[in-house]
Structure 1
Amino acid sequence: MKLNLKVFTVLALAGAVAISGCSANKSGSGSSAEPTKAVKTETPAAPVDLTWFATVGGWNPPQWTTEPGTVMGEQTKKTGLTFTYNIPAQDGDTKLNLMMVSSSDAFPDVITTIGQDMGKKLVEAGKVWELKEFLTKYDPESHLLKGFPEDVKKQMIKHYGGWYAIGSHMTSVDARKVYPPSSDYFADVAKYADNKGVLVNANIMKEAGIKLSDLKTEDGVLAALKKVKDMKLTVDGQPVIPLQIQGKNYHGETLQYLHRSFGAMPINKDGKHRHIYMSPENKHAIQFLFKAAQGGYFDAGQMTTDEAAIEANVLSKRVFMFIGGTPKIGKFDQLDFWVSPGAILSSEGTKPVFPFYSEPGRGWMQTMISKSTKEPEKLAKWLSYVTSAEGMTLNHFGIEGVHYTKDGKGLITRTDKGIQAQKDSTKTAVGIFWQFENIAFFENVQPAPTKREGAGGLIEMEAKTAYARSPEVVRYDASVLNLPGDFFAPGSENATIRNQIQQYYEAQVAKMVLAKDEAAFNALYDEFVAKMKQLKVDKLDAAQDAELQKKSKEIGVTVKGVNS
């Protein structure tokens, strides 16, 4: 069943009209004009401006405008609201914590957080509304009270103790009941898509005489990187970069892909929780980057670069191989030469793994409504609107007839102007409201792509699904690893151990990758293992294993490590 979105006509507000009945005041007639009859008109209320605080790095919406024919202007027309943003460049959680304890009345009206802890702090401090209570009181006809995915709501309640947030990028069984996929293509994407992967520049690959099949193994990849480097290839006079990693977030994107490809799991062969950083496959993943650094296939400076530098390198068309977060692909939309080998098989013979979740997540961003807002009714109507089919269409696709068109089935295709507007989202606001992106909705209202290039094109989806489609990959249900909402409660021992481990891991990995030789690498790894034990990784493992066993019984799923 496909959802046909209604086409809404925007009515212009009529100005005051003075109606006068006049006779033809002919010369010498002695008649006079009838008095003008005043007509009462209502002046539209000025929109109310509220504050929106976000701890999301990289979210950069344009200043709010009420200009008709714009995403923000049309949203204001529908909701009567405008927003002033407070988006700290850094330490957003720290600043929000200070605002929570301040006696000032300047607490924001809308709050968007990421991560495990900040949302729970807001709930525990009584700063935000439980949404069923909020909507029942201020917008009892809201579609959210009837159609919000129950399986996602269940996860919210487990985590927060109630339904306190709208999560971004929702995708779940119940979400797809509301918005069924428009084609089998999207059904496959739901099963196989992953946000981490490997991409190869087919043009450079051809020039170097390398086949995609050569890149199916770790040894093959390292040999190809060496060949590309030794050939001293150039693109537009600039040297080819054999390997591009995910900049300063390589440990969170590049290494996570290598973990999966080399078979690392946070569960051992006995079905016990074992921190993924303590798995032999983690060592092997780091060792791959060590070998790549030793060979000069990527410059050590990449490990501290930002997203803009990564994008500049890739858009120059001189990157041979990119390993990292596949959402970046959407920004490389004029490049149609990407291909992917899928999984890179470890030289040690371990099986690649792919975690899927039979239970949905809560979403990435978590957007909450402040109890201190002076406009609860307007905010309730706004929340209902921006999460509705009409609101999501406006926010993500823009203005019909300008930024997109619909076919006979109601499926949406962006125009050239719409494609450019999405690229310029920080100026146009088309596609900038990530907080309300709903993957199930997008897959319901868009046709399957037919072009390789472009954000959401075949090249992007091929790359995102190539890994999980690799026949060697073993899928496992990672839902057994879902933890209770208070497991990493702020200030708890579990949270302290986790944070100390992550901080140490990031520092030590950099040393290992840049070690002077194999002996130094191994010494640094031994040091890493010893320090992890000092940081109480075993204690955290024991606590997580207890939850793993409980969760396994609860959902009737048993998972065991397939490698070490």
Structure 2
Amino acid sequence: MKMKVFSILALAGTVVLSGCGANNSKSGAEPTKAAGSATPSAVTEAPVDLSWFATAGFWNPPQWKTESGTVSGEITKKTGLTFSYNIPAQDGDTKLSLLMVSSSKNFPDVITTVGPDMSQKLASSGKVWKLEEFLKQYDPESHLLKDFPADMKKELVKRDGDWYAIPSHMVSGDLRKQYPPSSAYFEDSAKYGDNKGIVVNTNILKQAGLSLDDLKTEDGLLAAFKKVKDMKLAVDGQPVIPLQVSGKSYHGETFQFLQKSFGAMPIDKDGKFRDILLAPETKHAIEFLFKAANGGAFDAGQLTMDNAAVEAALLSGRVFAYMGNLANAKFDKLDFWVSPGAILSNQGTKPVFPFWSEPAAGWMQTFISKETKEPEKLAKWLSFMTSPEGMTLIHFGIEGVEYTKDDKGLIVRTEKGIQDQKDSPKTGLDIFWQFANIAFLENVQPAPTKREGAGGLIEMEAKTALGRSPEIVRYDSSVLNLPGSFYAAGGKNVTLREQIKLYMEAQVSKMLLAKDEAAFNKLYDEYVAQLKTLKVDELDAARDAELQKKSQEMGVTVKGVNS
């Protein structure tokens, strides 16, 4: 339910999500002491190799090295551990589920999952440690027992029943007290940032004789697509693409941006939960994409493209407008992007922007197996990876080599550090996303001064354009947070949610490619009727009960601002 926006790209660098198969570690020479290392003391005995299973098929770390000056080598120096990876390219959740019912000798030492469902399933399996119990027994001096943010722990306990996992991309009120942002840049990024948005190629914008103001309304943007198409513009001999969507992920990316722009909310004007898929503004968002496709702004092939194909299209320089996940916009290589912000609906609805007064429970979730033969080493490894020293190493590398510090003590990447970060699947620098702590990253880096590049001002302006739009109405989406038991693995609510999601994705694709408006409306009516058949009303009633309970608990009332 909770879909928080993390400013990971502006803070930790460009994350390239690509499929990968199982990885195996290799050992090399014994590393030397890392620059600036202090605690824990360097380990002198031969390293122990442990297994690390991850359900995130797009995570692609390099084979483990123990050479001096490598990220993994310095981790080994501090912890005495190396890791062999098992990262299925597909069906990671299914394979983990099979491991959970197999003999304990095959169960991995470390497990990383994505999403709440597998976290709850793993937490209830009895195969992983409660972290407070684990740390008290095997590393009682761990900083995690003293400074792990209480507000985040509360969310993790609500979801899983106890504190079982280290979440990635942590950010919360308590964490920001511990690591206050170094500048207003990061404060603005936290308040206004959204990875779902629209950017426009200024080279083509100028060539078409258009201005950014021409694109701020639904009708204006559709007219711009038509003009660009009719002008038959080309880049390097190839035709300009008026609109590029987020490929096969468009349901959760392109679509979400339009829903916010057009003012769709999962709460109606009476303050009751109503699936956002049934909001009239959602129909309007689908209709906008139907009109764009019908007018030739994009073709059916885009709806099945993977991330690599989307990025290749953007890097060609022939995309006029890209709408979707701005993580794919390649700000590290393209400096021509600009964003009009919210696209105002021709129906006069107000755009909306959710914020969360309560923290999220993170993205990736990392667990420790009860079957591990090295609990003490793993406890100290967890403590190191989440310490300022460990986080500096995994995100920035070696001081004097991959980064230096400015006159305020803030971390600045060297040219080598910038390149090593780009090559993270080879170098391991900034690849351990499991331990990304957004508040820490905001605390130790200065605001960028360059407009171009990953994390530059062009990226910042694009990602905050929607949130900064003057017409935006902000609402506290924390009232929509559901207890962990609501979507318990194997439960009725999970089944209903997944059936609705699968049907929605298939039917929306049909609507976008409808031959005319009459066919579109017929498909939409079928869509609403089938959602009712799939018991969306029953699921909504259950979610509304939780919404009312949460609203009362928080003392916050949220009502739909449009329909």
TM-score w.r.t. the length of structure 1 is: 0.92
Distance 1:453 1:415 in 2: 16
Correspondence for 2:103: 103
What pairs with 1:303-314 in structure 2 (closer than 5 Å)?
303-314=303-314
- Compute the displacement of 1:104 (Å): 4.7
Contact between 1:56 and 1:113, CA under 8 Å: does it hold in 2? yes
Question: Is 2:35 the partner of 1:54?
Answer: no
Distance 2:37 2:372 in 1: 31
Write the deviation string for residues 522-557 of structure 1: whole angstroms up to 9, x where unpaired. Answer: 000000000000000000000000000000000110
Write the deviation string for residues 275-308 of structure 1: whole angstroms up to 9, x where unpaired. Answer: 0001111111111111111111112101001000
- Compute the displacement of 1:327 (Å): 2.1
Contact between 1:109 and 1:373, CA under 8 Å: does it hold in 2? yes
- Compute the displacement of 1:115 (Å): 1.4
Correspondence for 1:290: 290
Distance 2:44 2:526 in 1: 69
Contact between 1:193 and 1:468, CA under 8 Å: does it hold in 2? yes
Question: Any idea what SS the aligned residue of 2:471 has?
Answer: coil
Contact between 2:36 and 2:399, CA under 8 Å: does it hold in 1? no
Contact between 2:35 and 2:398, CA under 8 Å: does it hold in 1? no
Correspondence for 2:70: 70
Correspondence for 1:465: 464
Question: Is 2:481 the partner of 1:453?
Answer: no
Distance 1:87 1:238 in 2: 38
Amino acid at match of 2:88: P
Write the deviation string for residues 70-96 of structure 1: whole angstroms up to 9, x where unpaired. Answer: 111111111111111111111111111
Question: Is 2:366 the partner of 1:367?
Answer: yes
Amino acid at match of 1:447: P
Root-mean-square deviation (CA), in Å? 1.5
Question: Is 2:562 the partner of 1:542?
Answer: no
Contact between 2:267 and 2:275, CA under 8 Å: does it hold in 1? yes
What pairs with 1:399-438 in structure 2 (closer than 5 Å)?
399-438=398-437
What pairs with 1:249-328 in structure 2 (closer than 5 Å)?
249-328=249-328
Contact between 1:262 and 1:344, CA under 8 Å: does it hold in 2? yes
- Compute the displacement of 1:408 (Å): 2.1
- Compute the displacement of 1:244 (Å): 0.7
Contact between 1:201 and 1:320, CA under 8 Å: does it hold in 2? yes
Correspondence for 1:349: 348
Amino acid at match of 1:495: V
Correspondence for 2:36: 8
Distance 2:150 2:334 in 1: 39
Correspondence for 2:86: 86
Question: Any idea what SS the aligned residue of 2:57 has?
Answer: coil
Correspondence for 1:147: 147
Distance 2:88 2:265 in 1: 35
Distance 1:323 1:8 in 2: 43
Question: Any idea what SS the aligned residue of 1:52 has?
Answer: strand
Amino acid at match of 2:514: A
Question: Any idea what SS the aligned residue of 1:250 has?
Answer: helix
- Compute the displacement of 1:316 (Å): 1.1
Distance 1:295 1:238 in 2: 19
Distance 2:303 2:401 in 1: 41
Question: Is 2:529 the partner of 1:501?
Answer: no
Question: Any idea what SS the aligned residue of 1:105 has?
Answer: helix
Distance 1:396 1:8 in 2: 14
Contact between 1:497 and 1:537, CA under 8 Å: does it hold in 2? yes
Write the deviation string for residues 112-162 of structure 1: whole angstroms up to 9, x where unpaired. Answer: 111121111111111111111111111111111111111111101111111
- Compute the displacement of 1:10 (Å): 8.2
Structure 2 segments unaligned to the other structure (5+ residues): 1-33
Amino acid at match of 1:337: F
Distance 2:203 2:451 in 1: 15
Correspondence for 1:486: 485
Distance 1:153 1:104 in 2: 28
Question: Any idea what SS the aligned residue of 1:64 has?
Answer: coil
Contact between 2:331 and 2:459, CA under 8 Å: does it hold in 1? no
Question: Any idea what SS the aligned residue of 1:296 has?
Answer: coil
Question: Any idea what SS the aligned residue of 1:84 has?
Answer: strand
Correspondence for 2:121: 121
Question: Any idea what SS the aligned residue of 1:121 has?
Answer: helix
- Compute the displacement of 1:7 (Å): 6.4
Amino acid at match of 1:240: V
Question: Any idea what SS the aligned residue of 1:190 has?
Answer: helix
Amino acid at match of 1:307: N
Amino acid at match of 1:410: G
Taking a change above 3 Å as real, the CA distance of residues 522 and 251 of structure 1, as seen in their structure-2 partners, is: same
Question: Any idea what SS the aligned residue of 2:251 has?
Answer: coil
Distance 2:78 2:528 in 1: 57
Question: Any idea what SS the aligned residue of 2:320 has?
Answer: strand
Question: Any idea what SS the aligned residue of 1:506 has?
Answer: helix
The structure number with the bigger radius of gyration is: 1
Question: Is 2:524 the partner of 1:525?
Answer: yes
Distance 2:169 2:386 in 1: 12
Correspondence for 2:555: 556
Contact between 1:47 and 1:76, CA under 8 Å: does it hold in 2? yes
Write the deviation string for residues 455-505 of structure 1: whole angstroms up to 9, x where unpaired. Answer: 111111111111010010000000000000010111111111000000000
What pairs with 1:390-405 in structure 2 (closer than 5 Å)?
390-405=389-404
**Matched-pair identity in %:** 73
Runs of 4+ off more than 2 Å: none
What pairs with 1:189-228 in structure 2 (closer than 5 Å)?
189-228=189-228
Taking a change above 3 Å as real, the CA distance of residues 266 and 10 of structure 1, as seen in their structure-2 partners, is: closer
TM-score w.r.t. the length of structure 2 is: 0.92
Write the deviation string for residues 308-367 of structure 1: whole angstroms up to 9, x where unpaired. Answer: 0011111111111011112223x3312111110110001111100000000000001111
Alignment length, in residue pairs?
Answer: 529
Write the deviation string for residues 244-286 of structure 1: whole angstroms up to 9, x where unpaired. Answer: 1000000010001101100000000000000000111111111
Question: Any idea what SS the aligned residue of 1:117 has?
Answer: helix
- Compute the displacement of 1:44 (Å): 3.6
Distance 1:290 1:155 in 2: 39
Write the deviation string for residues 382-441 of structure 1: whole angstroms up to 9, x where unpaired. Answer: 001111111111111112111111112210111111111111110011111111111111
Amino acid at match of 1:96: L
Question: Any idea what SS the aligned residue of 1:51 has?
Answer: strand
Distance 2:228 2:478 in 1: 41
Question: Any idea what SS the aligned residue of 1:242 has?
Answer: strand
Question: Any idea what SS the aligned residue of 1:243 has?
Answer: strand
Contact between 1:315 and 1:332, CA under 8 Å: does it hold in 2? no
Correspondence for 2:511: 512
Question: Any idea what SS the aligned residue of 1:464 has?
Answer: helix
Distance 1:57 1:461 in 2: 28
Correspondence for 1:3: none
- Compute the displacement of 1:9 (Å): 4.7
Question: Any idea what SS the aligned residue of 2:485 has?
Answer: coil
Contact between 2:310 and 2:328, CA under 8 Å: does it hold in 1? no
Amino acid at match of 1:327: A
Correspondence for 1:20: none
Correspondence for 1:31: none
Contact between 2:37 and 2:389, CA under 8 Å: does it hold in 1? no
Contact between 2:116 and 2:159, CA under 8 Å: does it hold in 1? no
